[in-house]
Structure 1
Amino acid sequence: MIYEALSCLVDEINEHFRIRLKVSEDKVILSAIVNQDGSIAIQGENKILLTLINIEKETVGRNNSSFSVASLGINKSPVLTVNLHVLFSAYFSNGNYPESLRFISFIIAFFQQKSAFNRVNTPRLDPEIDKLIFEMASISPEQLNNVWGCLGAKYMPSVIYKIRMLTYNNNIIREIRPLVSDVESDNNIDNS
């Protein structure tokens, strides 16, 4: 569900940039900033990175007790509502700092115009997602320093948003996509 929400968001912003800025390439990508080994995770430059930096349980406004009707044989787990904290960071080449500031401004303007996503205003939103509400996070310089330190990266122009109310229920797992690690050739198949 997290991937579906964030990939939809990337598609929406890229579509907005194609229309408003007349750019042909995707400027926003869903990516970590650095790999686990400390190397840069981004292919290319001059991109806005969308990176998940935190998941927290929503504690306001939800009844988190389980629903149980023993006589009917029903025992349903409660829904879990989470908030996501995402970082939009401008990964632009050294001589392109002014452009990085422009694109961070474009991100802020995008969410000023459209701070709530639902299936009416965002048809490509996953059917399991009811609504996503975006609010800019206000964090201190010390907290920002901690975020970038935890990410293991040098600071880039960035903005953090809180995405509210992503709801999980017991229908969340629809498929598993295992990694393909080795492909066997057709020559190894016994035709007897």
Structure 2
Amino acid sequence: MLDVALKFLRDEINAALALRTGSDAVKVLLTRIAEETGKYAFAIDNIGCSVINIEEERVFKAQMPDYATVNGQQVATSPELKLNLHLLFAAHFTHYDQALKYLALILTFFQSHPVFTSDRYPALAPACGKLVAELISFNYEQLNQVWAYLGAKHLPSVVYRVRLVTLQEREPSGIKPPLTSIATTFHSR
């Protein structure tokens, strides 16, 4: 589901950029930011989008498995894994003002579209759940650490946390005959 959620966001942003600029020459690309050599891993005059961190959402975490009866058997499935993705959008442009222009377009896109659900966005797979985008602001030290971690020189960039990407294992964690009766026995002392 990570790839499905990220492709959905990429496609939505690219459609918004094309609508706002009247051109589809500039695209958001799902890519790593830097090669092992330190060179940028995506073409100039584009925006690279990379997952820089994945964290488990523990506030909304279900603790117990889900149970259902299928073909007369009780089937247990593990609780959903809900994740927060930290996405870095880095603008790699020949002209600095173009990088700022496209970053501003991404910021305004998420400002006007902070929540994505399959009800409102049919292209979003229902299994992805609800996606919520939040801007993350780093201080200078944190920003330096992110770019050092990526192994690249700083580019104009913005980081968003996309909350509640849902993953679910399709294989049941257990299959048992259903509970059909309960018996109790009382003993006197």
Smaller-chain TM-score range? 0.7 to 0.9
- Which residue of structure 2 lines up, in the alignment, with residue 148 of structure 1? 147
Number of aligned residue pairs: give it. 169
Unaligned runs of 5+ residues in structure 1 are 173-192
- Give the 5 Å matches for 1:153-164: 153-164=152-163
Residues 38-81 of structure 1, C-alpha deviations (whole Å, 9 max, x = no match): 44311x31111111100000011332233469xx5433212111
Q: Distance in 1 between matches of 2:120 and 2:67?
A: 36
- Which residue of structure 2 lines up, in the alignment, with residue 54 of structure 1? 53
Q: Which has the larger radius of gyration?
A: 2
Q: Give the 3 Å change call, closer, same or farther, for CA 37–171 of structure 1 in structure 2.
A: farther
What is the CA distance between 1:37 and its match in structure 2?
A: 4.5
Q: Distance in 2 between matches of 1:83 and 1:98?
A: 31
Q: Distance in 2 between matches of 1:97 and 1:150?
A: 23
Q: Distance in 2 between matches of 1:28 and 1:139?
A: 22
- Give the 5 Å matches for 1:91-106: 91-93=92-94, 96-106=95-105
Contact 1:53 1:87 survives alignment (8 Å): yes
Q: Distance in 1 between matches of 2:67 and 2:116?
A: 32
Residues 120-164 of structure 1, C-alpha deviations (whole Å, 9 max, x = no match): 332211231121000001222111111111100111111100000
Contact 1:64 1:79 survives alignment (8 Å): no
Secondary structure of the 1:59 match is coil
Q: Give the 3 Å change call, closer, same or farther, for CA 120–76 of structure 1 in structure 2.
A: closer
Counterpart code for 1:160: V
- Which residue of structure 2 lines up, in the alignment, with residue 136 of structure 1? 135
What is the CA distance between 1:24 and its match in structure 2?
A: 2.7
Unaligned runs of 5+ residues in structure 2 are 172-189
Q: Distance in 1 between matches of 2:78 and 2:114?
A: 30
Q: What stretches of structure 1 move > 6 A for 4+ residues in a row?
A: none
Larger RCO (CA under 8 A, 6+ residues apart): 2
Secondary structure of the 1:9 match is helix
Identity %: 37
Counterpart code for 1:13: I
Q: Distance in 2 between matches of 1:55 and 1:34?
A: 18
Name the TM-score, length of structure 1 as normaliser. 0.80
- Which residue of structure 1 lines up, in the alignment, with residue 27 of structure 2? 27
- Which residue of structure 1 lines up, in the alignment, with residue 75 of structure 2? 74
Secondary structure of the 2:83 match is strand
Q: Does 1:111 align with 2:110?
A: yes
Name the TM-score, length of structure 2 as normaliser. 0.82
What is the CA distance between 1:165 and its match in structure 2?
A: 0.5
- Which residue of structure 1 lines up, in the alignment, with residue 123 of structure 2? 124
Q: Distance in 2 between matches of 1:73 and 1:165?
A: 28
- Which residue of structure 1 lines up, in the alignment, with residue 16 of structure 2? 16
- Give the 5 Å matches for 1:35-50: 35-42=35-42, 44-50=43-49
Contact 2:85 2:161 survives alignment (8 Å): yes
**Aligned Cα RMSD in Å?**
2.1
Counterpart code for 1:77: S
Counterpart code for 1:121: R
